């Protein structure tokens, strides 16, 4: 298909294929932390203006980055039995339409960042650039999990910058906590592809150090995540509702690690998506209650 050949009208099933392409439901991982960063910045509930433009900026950044990721990995995905049924390996979407989606999403990101403040506009392409770098990292280094974590860490930092327009220690610590959290659950997810990675010279911690050690590293990352959340609560003078949210997060992380073992990876998807979705949404919810009532 010619790069410049675009189908002018997207049918409903094609639209659903595009949504599946970028795994829109995975926005639940990062978006609540962007809101959390904004809440901590204003020490309360942001105005509707900020909610709208932070949301649109996140959707634009994540859609552009994820679509680029799928383009970069389409040949690898076609070889992997776990991913070969994705839209691009199956040829369900013309590449021109994917590029159009990327362009539109990037424009949405830039305009939303412009509506927030100049620093957000200047830094807005960073999240997309980080995700593109992450897509290539697994070809060269097992540190790719930390690359993905760095992408998600942009969410709380970006939420803070949207309000204040300057860096501070609180969003950086929260960003570090999110980085370790995301890298930890990506380690669990990567255990599914150990054999494929070895056969195709792709790097990951499970492939390089074994599944058992990868799960231990994942647990260590998540312990540090909880430590970062506790530190944030103290620095931001958050109250009991927030601490209760951190306690629930800790319980969910423990449960996540009980779902998988080196000899039983059958519940990796439950550990990856369901539990971590509850963590991000739950922590945001308890924080909102805390700043309203505490």
The per-residue pLDDT for range 42-61, each reduced to its tens digit, is 989 999 999 999 999 999 98
Tens digits of residue pLDDT in 224-277: 999 999 999 999 999 999 999 999 999 999 999 999 998 888 888 877 788 998
| 1 vs 161, residue with greater confidence | 161
Q: Which residues contact 27 (CB under 8 A, 6 or more apart)?
A: 58, 59, 62
Which residue from 106, 4, 108 is spatially nearest to 56, judged by alpha carbons?
108
Cβ atoms of residues 61 and 126 within 8 Å:
no
Tens digits of residue pLDDT in 102-124: 999 999 999 999 999 999 999 98
For domain 13-293, which architecture applies? Orthogonal Bundle (1.10)
The domain spans of the chain are 13-293
Cα separation of 284 and 293, whole Å? 14
CA count, 13 A, side-chain hemisphere, 284: 23
Least confident of 64-68, 152-156, 182-186: 64-68
> What pLDDT score does 83 carry?
86
> What pLDDT score does 3 carry?
35
Which DSSP state fits 262?
T
> What pLDDT score does 287 carry?
96
Cα separation of 205 and 218, whole Å? 10
Answering whether pTM is above 0.85, one says yes
Q: Which residues contact 220 (CB under 8 A, 6 or more apart)?
A: none
Residue 2 has pLDDT above 60, yes or no: no
Which residue from 103, 80, 99 is spatially nearest to 90, judged by alpha carbons?
80
Cβ atoms of residues 139 and 202 within 8 Å:
yes
Tens digits of residue pLDDT in 189-208: 999 999 999 999 999 999 99
Cα separation of 44 and 97, whole Å? 41
Angle between helix 169-190 and helix 211-235 axes, rounded to 10 deg: 160
């Amino acid at each position: 298909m010619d790069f410049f050949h675009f189908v002018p009208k997207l049918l409903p099933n094609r639209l659903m294929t595009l949504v599946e392409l970028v795994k829109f439901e995975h926005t639940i991982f990062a978006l609540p932390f962007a809101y959390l960063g904004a809440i901590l910045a204003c020490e309360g509930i942001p105005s509707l203006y900020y909610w709208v433009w932070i949301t649109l900026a996140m959707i634009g950044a994540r859609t552009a980055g994820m679509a680029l990721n799928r383009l970069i990995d389409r040949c690898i995905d076609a070889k992997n039995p776990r991913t070969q049924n994705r839209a691009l390996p199956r040829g369900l979407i013309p590449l021109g339409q994917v590029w159009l989606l990327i362009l539109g999403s990037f424009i949405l990101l830039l305009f939303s960042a412009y509506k927030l403040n100049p620093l957000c506009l200047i830094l807005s392409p960073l999240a997309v650039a980080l995700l593109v770098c992450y897509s290539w990292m697994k070809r060269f280094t097992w540190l790719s999990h930390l690359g993905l974590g760095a992408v998600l860490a942009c969410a709380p930092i970006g939420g803070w910058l949207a309000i204040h327009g300057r860096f501070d220690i609180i969003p950086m610590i929260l960003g570090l906590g999110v980085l370790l959290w995301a890298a930890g659950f990506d380690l669990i997810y990567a255990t599914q592809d150990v054999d494929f990675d070895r056969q195709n010279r792709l790097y990951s911690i499970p492939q390089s150090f074994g599944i058992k050690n990868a799960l231990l590293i994942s647990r260590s990352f998540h312990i540090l995540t909880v430590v970062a959340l506790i530190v944030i609560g103290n620095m931001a003078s958050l109250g009991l509702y927030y601490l209760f949210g951190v306690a629930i997060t800790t319980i969910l992380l423990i449960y996540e690690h009980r779902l998988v073992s080196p000899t039983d990876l059958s519940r990796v998807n439950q550990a990856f998506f369901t539990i971590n979705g509850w963590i991000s949404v739950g922590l945001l919810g308890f924080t909102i209650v805390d700043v309203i009532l505490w």
